């Protein structure tokens, strides 16, 4: 049993190294930098002061674009921003975690909770 356990430990170590190598390869192929945008909900005190998110536009069919409409002297000006993913105010922690879970590596053993 000890020999079998040692062999399994060695195989587990090899598989973990292979997983890391493949993960790094995927990261390289995708590019190493990811930019996510998460817009927080309006706070109660902001609602009281009538600050809303009307100036932000979330595209219903493209979760990678966020538009901001700013007021300037010449009228409203629209700015479009592109991200790897945009999370609107209603997005849950679980949604965010599921999106980035594969991008996060923790040294040593893989942790399940952050």
Q: Give SS3 for 2.
A: helix
Integer Cα distance of 93 and 26 in angstroms? 25
Token representation of residue 86: 């945009």
Q: 60, 53, 57, 52: which is closest to 80 by C-alpha?
A: 57
Domain assignments of the chain as residue spans, ordered by start: 1-32, 33-108
Beta bridge mates, 78? 69
Structure pTM? 0.57
The tens place of each residue's pLDDT in the chain, 114 residues long, gives: 999 999 999 999 999 999 988 888 887 777 777 889 999 888 888 777 766 677 788 887 888 888 888 766 666 788 888 998 999 988 999 999 988 887 776 665 544 454
Q: What is the pLDDT of residue 5?
A: 94
- Taking the CA atoms of the chain, what radius of gyration do you get in angstroms? 22
Q: What is the pLDDT of residue 74?
A: 67
Q: Which residues, other chains included, contact 46 with Cβ-Cβ below 8 Å and sequence gap of 6+?
A: 52
């Amino acid at each position: 049993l000890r020999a079998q356990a040692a062999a399994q430990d060695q195989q587990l170590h090899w598989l973990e190294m292979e997983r890391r190598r493949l993960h790094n390869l995927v990261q390289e192929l995708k590019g190493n930098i990811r930019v996510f945008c998460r817009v927080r909900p309006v706070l109660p005190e902001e609602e009281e002061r009538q600050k809303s998110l009307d100036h932000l536009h979330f595209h219903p069919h493209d979760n990678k674009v966020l538009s901001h409409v700013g007021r300037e002297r010449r009228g409203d000006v629209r700015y479009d921003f592109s991200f790897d993913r945009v999370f609107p105010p209603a997005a849950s922690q679980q949604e965010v975690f599921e999106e980035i879970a594969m991008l996060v590596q923790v040294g040593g053993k893989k942790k399940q909770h952050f």
